[in-house]
């Protein structure tokens, strides 16, 4: 600023000599205005004075949120922080600002006749505040991959999509489009195909897959650095699955199995065809043990195995 002032002094002396006081003053005003404009931060969207809840303390504070290129770049709690320019300013006074919700277990499926119906769901997610979804396996993978790209590029309205592509299952699996795995060669082929289309994770289903093929799939995927998620055949124990490298368990009843003090006996009964899936549930509930449960929870935590607590089996599997 010292040099700037010296320059102004020189200009004023020049002005006095030349009797051009008004033009020089106008120049100074324009220079000062220009400098002030350059100091302003520029944002695409600013949401002013919205109520934000601290999820740890429960405290509600007024905050202004600054967004550029689709990302939050700054928070402010100052009421006087107005030194910015924005393409759009939203007054959130009296309203609450929440983060975008995730739906961690959706399915885009139903065959070619339902492609457009599934596509229409995308904007409904956004309308209901869901900005990210996790597609846990379906039979519309080519379309889902297109939507994923179009959304990321801003050409389609919809949530960010993470998808597993088609599920992995055994022969004659329940869901259309599943990749069939019976042996080690099938595992390699299935994972190669999923990596080729660049899925975000691998979803394994248990309707027909054998315990051997299931564990082989989890181990091979883990070795490749792929995230695995899925149902769990009741013919294996939860501990076996977690130690094989499963990244996430879909549905809580698989965790319930690991909380039974009789899990190994029940697993063997299923292997011997003495029990079926739903028949075992009553026994698992009756043999729930708190100490066993705590050990299971610690096992999941130690191995970074997440749990997606979907409970409505027929609606969401």
| Domain boundaries, given as residue ranges, for the chain | 2-39, 41-91, 101-316
Question: Residue 79: its pLDDT value, please?
Answer: 62
Q: Which tokens belong to 90?
A: 């939203």
Question: Residue 5: its pLDDT value, please?
Answer: 43
Tokens 């519309």 sit on residue: 140
Distance (Å, rounded) from C-alpha 122 to C-alpha 48? 28
Give helix then strand counts, H and E, for the chain. Answer: 12, 13
Distance (Å, rounded) from C-alpha 299 to C-alpha 249? 13
Distance (Å, rounded) from C-alpha 27 to C-alpha 210? 82
Sheet holding 168-169, edge to edge: 179-180, 168-169, 202-204, 228-230, 248-250, 306-308
Q: Is 2 helix (H, G, I), strand (E, B) or coil?
A: helix
Question: Residue 53: its pLDDT value, please?
Answer: 92
Question: Residue 271: its pLDDT value, please?
Answer: 93
Give the strand pairing for 84-91 and 101-106. unpaired
Helix (H) or strand (E) holding 307: strand 306-308
Q: What is the CATH number of domain 101-316?
A: 3.20.20.140
Helices 21-39 and 2-18 pack at an angle, to 10 degrees, of 160
Tens-digit pLDDT profile for the chain (317 aa)?
444 443 444 445 544 554 545 555 555 555 555 555 556 788 999 999 999 998 889 999 999 999 999 889 988 886 656 678 899 999 999 999 988 999 999 999 999 999 999 999 999 999 999 999 999 999 999 999 999 999 999 999 999 999 999 999 999 999 999 999 999 999 999 999 999 999 999 999 999 999 999 999 999 999 999 999 999 999 999 999 999 999 999 999 999 999 999 999 999 999 999 999 889 999 999 999 999 999 999 999 999 999 998 754 333 33
Question: Residue 31: its pLDDT value, please?
Answer: 57
| Fold (topology level) of 41-91 | Urease, subunit C; domain 1 (2.30.40)
Sheet holding 130-135, edge to edge: 101-106, 130-135, 160-163
Closest CA to 250 of 278, 230, 271, 276: 230
């Amino acid at each position: 600023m010292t040099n700037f002032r010296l320059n102004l002094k020189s200009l004023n002396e020049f002005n006095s000599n030349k009797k051009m006081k008004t033009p020089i003053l106008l120049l100074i005003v324009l220079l000062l205005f220009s400098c002030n404009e350059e100091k302003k931060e520029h944002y695409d969207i600013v949401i002013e004075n919205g109520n934000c809840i601290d999820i740890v303390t429960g405290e509600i504070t007024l905050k202004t949120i600054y967004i550029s290129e689709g990302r939050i770049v700054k928070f402010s709690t100052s009421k006087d922080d107005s030194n910015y320019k924005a393409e759009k300013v939203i007054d959130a006074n009296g309203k609450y600002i929440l983060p975008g919700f995730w739906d961690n277990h959706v399915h885009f499926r139903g065959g070619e006749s339902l492609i457009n119906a599934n596509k229409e769901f995308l904007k409904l997610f956004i309308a209901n505040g869901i900005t990210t979804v996790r597609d846990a396996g379906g039979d519309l993978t080519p379309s889902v991959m297109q939507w994923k790209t179009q959304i990321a590029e801003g050409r389609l309205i919809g949530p960010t999509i993470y998808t597993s592509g088609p599920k992995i299952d055994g022969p004659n699996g329940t869901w259309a489009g599943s990749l069939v795995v019976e042996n080690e060669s099938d595992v390699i082929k299935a994972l190669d195909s999923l990596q080729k289309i660049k899925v975000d994770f691998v979803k394994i289903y248990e309707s027909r897959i054998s315990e051997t093929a299931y564990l082989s799939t989890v181990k091979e995927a883990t070795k490749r650095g792929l995230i695995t998620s899925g149902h769990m055949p009741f013919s294996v124990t939860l501990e076996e699955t977690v130690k094989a490298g499963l990244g996430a368990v879909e549905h809580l009843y698989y965790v319930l199995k690991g909380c039974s003090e009789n899990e190994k006996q029940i697993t063997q009964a299923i292997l011997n065809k003495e029990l079926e899936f739903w028949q075992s549930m009553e026994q698992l509930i009756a043999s729930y043990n708190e100490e066993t449960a705590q050990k299971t929870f610690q096992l999941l935590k130690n191995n970074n195995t997440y749990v997606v607590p979907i409970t409505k089996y027929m609606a969401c599997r």
